[in-house]
Structures are given as structure tokens and as C-alpha cells.
A and B are shown apart, each in its own frame.
Chain A
Amino acid sequence: GAGVSQTPSNKVTEKGKYVELRCDPISGHTALYWYRQSLGQGPEFLIYFQGTGAADDSGLPNDRFFAVRPEGSVSTLKIQRTERGDSAVYLCASSTGADGSPLHFGNGTRLTVT
């Protein structure tokens, strides 16, 4: 079956602009995660959805970052007033939501802020 799909795969934007990153999880997966991965680092937790609600958004670095999942499937990560420090790969993952169930990752979106 289809895996986790992230679009776009690459995004270049100018400092100060607004961007949206999309994640389409595996069908039926109730849990959805966003991670940020800077060069040479491991994935850093941003936000976790269980169904439509953000169950834990403690990893969002500041109020410029926001994520939604209105119908409990596709999710969008939104970044306002982008800064050069936001440049990273943004990974999305989904799981069945059961404790310890493996995360299935997408290929990520590489965001470059110039």
C-alpha cells in the first residue's frame, strides 16, 4: 500500500515568507507526527496528533509554527515569517497509535530559507 507522502520534496523560500508543508499519512493511521531534522542531527519532535487534535505541541519552537489536521488524515505544517534558522528537513510520520507501534516516515520536505 501507499506510504507516507510529503509534498513538496523541496521548498526554497525567502526570509519573511509563509510556507505550508503537507503530509498525507498511511490510510487508517490515527497518529501523526512532525519532526525537524537539521544537518547532522537526529529528528527533533515538533508535534503529535491523535485524530484531529494536537495531543502534544510542546516541540514547536515558537508561535510562528503551527500545524493542523482538520479531518484526521492529511496534515499541514505552517511556518509564518520564515527565518534562515528554519532551514531543515521536515519529516512527517504516522502510526496506528498503539503504544510502541512503529513510526512510518515520509521522505521529508527540505526547506531552505534564503
Chain B
Amino acid sequence: AQTVTQSQPEMSVQEAETVTLSCTYDTSENNYYLFWYKQPPSRQMILVIRQEAYKQQNATENRFSVNFQKAAKSFSLKISDSQLGDTAMYFCGTSGTYKYIFGTGTRLKVLA
């Protein structure tokens, strides 16, 4: 079974500042992947960053990076130099062989 927990329903950050969104997960899969997706008001889920669990190095994509702590089953997302366009819902997720499970999301608001 897979579960994903996001304990921060809402967060805000000043433009140009850094913010970290938390995520913990549980899975019975030996080989799995972790994701962060962004969902703006347009409703389309957009992949932000992806981490393969067997890789120890934390994934980075431009201003987005993760802190993957496998033993603690923690997968937080750090957004540097926050921009107004980062305002959205952010969903953490995990997948094993095929099933993708998501958390309840964190609503991030970037303030001008």
C-alpha cells in the first residue's frame, strides 16, 4: 500500500524568497519514484520534479530542488527565488510499478 501525507494545507512566501513544502510517504514497493506536481487554477497538473528512490542524489530542476530522506520517508520541495507564477496547489506523489498516489496538497501563495 502507498500513502502520501502533506501536513501543510496552505503556505505563503514573499516574492524572491525561498519556501519549503513538506511531504512524507509510505510504500511497500522496493523500487519507487517520487514526484511533485503543480496545479494552477487552470486545473492541469504539471510535473515539477521527479526523484528515483534508488538514487541518493537529490533532484534539481532550475529553482526547484528536493530534500529526499529515504530512511525518514520524507520528500520535501524547496522553491528558490519564488515567483508570482509559482502560486498554485502543489501535490506530492509516489509511484511503484504503475500506481500513482497523491497527497492532499499544499496551497502556495506567492506575495508581491
Contacts and interface: CB of A to CB of B under 8 A. Distances in A.
Contacts of A99: 31, 33, 95-98
B101 A45 contact: yes
Given A43-B91, A105-B44, A55 B104 contact: no
29 contacts: A33-B100, A41-B104, A41-B105, A42-B4, A42-B103, A42-B104, A43-B102, A45-B100, A48-B98, A48-B99, A55-B98, A56-B99, A89-B43, A91-B45, A93-B45, A93-B100, A97-B98, A99-B33, A99-B97, A100-B32, A100-B50, A102-B35, A102-B47, A102-B50, A103-B45, A103-B47, A104-B47, A106-B44, A107-B43
Contacts of A104: 47
B27 to A, nearest CB: 12
The winner among A31, A56, A97, A99 for most chain B CB atoms within 10 A is A99
Interface in A78-104: 89, 91, 93, 97, 99-100, 102-104
Contacts of B86: none
Contacts of A91: 43, 45
A45 B6 CA distance: 17
B28 interface: no
For the side of the interface on B, what is the size category? 20 to 34
For the side of the interface on A, what is the size category? 20 to 34
Nearest to B4: A42
B100 to A, nearest CB: 6
